[in-house]
Structures are given as C-alpha cells and as structure tokens.
Amino acid sequence: MKDKSISVIIPVYNCEKEIINCVESVLGQSRKALISEIIIVNDGSNDGTLKTLNKIKKVDGIDIRIINQSNKGVSCARNAGINMAKSEWIAFIDSDDSWHKNKLKIQEQYIDSYTNISIIGANVNEKDQIIGWNKKISAGFVEAKDMIVRSFPQTSSVIARTEAIKEFGGFDPKQSYCEDMNLFIKIAFKYKYFHINKQLVCYGNGKPQIGGEKGLSADIKKMNAGAKKNLKDFHEIGILNNREYIFYYLFNELKYMRRIMKKIGRKYNESWNYNVK
C-alpha cells in the first residue's frame, strides 16, 4: 500500500464507555502512518458519547473528524463517513470493537502481495473462520457463495477500496440487519474477497452473539429477515441461480430455527437454575 492511505470510519451511538478503547486501538496501530483520517459519525447519541468524543485530541498526521447527525441507523452513519472519505481505502470499525495492533500492517502485506485485492478481512476473537461448507484457509481469495454460508467477514475486520464501496452505493440505508454482508458479498461477487485466517479484531467487548438476549445480533427475527432480503438481492443480481436460491433460503430457515431453539433452551436453563437456587 505504498503511497496509499486509509480513511477509518467509526459509527457511534450511546457508547461513551467503549469509544475511547476503540479509538485507541486505531491510534495504536503499528502502521499508523497508513491512516490519513478518522471519521467518527455520532448517530444521535443521547448519553455522554459526544462529550467523550470531544475529549479526543487531534493526532499529528491524522485528521480526526466528528460528524453529528440525528439517529438514522448504522447504515446511514457509515454512509455519511463514506461520503466524506478522502482516501483510496476505507477501514471500518464499530465503537465496541478494537483492532489488534498489527491489523493494518498484516493486511497491508497481503494487499502489496496481491495487487488485485479490492476487499480484505480477517478473523475476530479467537476463532478460525471456516470457508464455505467445510473449508479452512490460512489466507486467500474466497468466492462470494462461500461467504453466504458462514456470513462473514465481520465489519470491523474489513478494508476495501473506496471506489468499490461507492460502486455499489455503500450500505443499504433501509437495512439495519445483515447490511454489511449485503455490501461485502456484492463486492466479492465482482472482485473476489481476500480472507486472512488470523485474529485481527476483538469483537464486541462482551457483546452477545446471535441468539443472545441483548445487542444488535440478539434480534434473531430481524436478523433472519435481513438474511432473506440479502438472498433475494443475490438472486436478482445473479450470484445465486434459482436452485441455489431455494437451497440457501431453506438452509437459512434451518439456521433460524436452530437459533430459536438455542434461545429457548437458554431461557429454560436460566429459569431452572433460578428455581433450584
């Protein structure tokens, strides 16, 4: 990535306790020189988030901009940052996530080695990423269809070319669940996605996974609706043929039912443990 720069986009909403750790992980990058600007989009926070953001000092060589807007959702917040980005590359990070100190350095090495990369991501937390149905790679290009099965990459691991993001219109402002997969898989269908099977992001600082009780990923009904909307989009643009669309649709419904059962089982166990006590 010689002579190239990165705009880092951070959407924030009521995250006064997490945002400093997030920003510090960006500023603590071993290849901080790649970052030309950090764009923080405050999406109508009503806690102390804005006050906390105003304490963030300007860093030499990095322009830190704070955009305030009424609450419009994470897609609109990210799009506001995308529209202001001046760099050739954009890196995303959510306010309750943090980067490994060598994240940008490692991704830069692969981008330099494979000049046709337009979007690149990595693992989050201490978990290997399975590709497709049952494949595992250390690093390499991944087909769009193989991303649909496992719903990856996680947003905070992604760096993508600004022109590729804008080519597909950024994130769908009408979609607040699975909107990241919608964009990333569309980019991957045209340009392919490069995955590094190495942990470069700490996800959520304790944020519940799918099927939990709180957080964005907890609303599994809306997550399911977002996933079905994505499958419809992928079918319409030719990523999935008719047979594949039906297969993936049914597979998604099975995953949805599995998550429902896990959630019911968790509630039952909690109730049982409470009664025993």
| pLDDT per residue as tens digits for the range 230-264 | 999 999 999 999 999 999 999 999 988 888 887 77
* Tokens 């750790």 -> residue: 21
pTM: 0.88
Q: How many whole angstroms separate alpha carbon 76 and alpha carbon 94?
A: 14
Q: Which CATH superfamily is domain 6-202 in?
A: Spore Coat Polysaccharide Biosynthesis Protein SpsA; Chain A (3.90.550.10)
Q: Would you kindly state where each structural domain of the chain is located, as residue ranges?
A: 6-202, 216-276
| pLDDT value, residue 190 | 95
Read off the tokens for 43: 């999406």
Tell me the two tokens of residue 180. 């990241």
| Phi/psi of residue 18, nearest 5 degrees | -105, -25
Q: Is the peptide bond before 173 cis (omega within 30 degrees of 0)?
A: no
* CA gap 50, 55 in Å, rounded: 9
What is the predicted pLDDT for the residue at 218? 53
Strands annotated E in 82-181: 89-92, 98-99, 119-124, 139-142, 159-161
Average pLDDT over residues 207-223: 53
Say what percent of the chain tops pLDDT 70. Answer: 89
Q: What is the pLDDT of residues 68-126, one digit of tens each?
A: 999 999 999 999 999 999 999 999 999 999 999 999 999 999 999 998 999 999 999 87
* CA distances (Å), origin 162, targets 7, 99, 101, 120, 196: 9, 20, 23, 13, 20
pLDDT at res. 211? 32
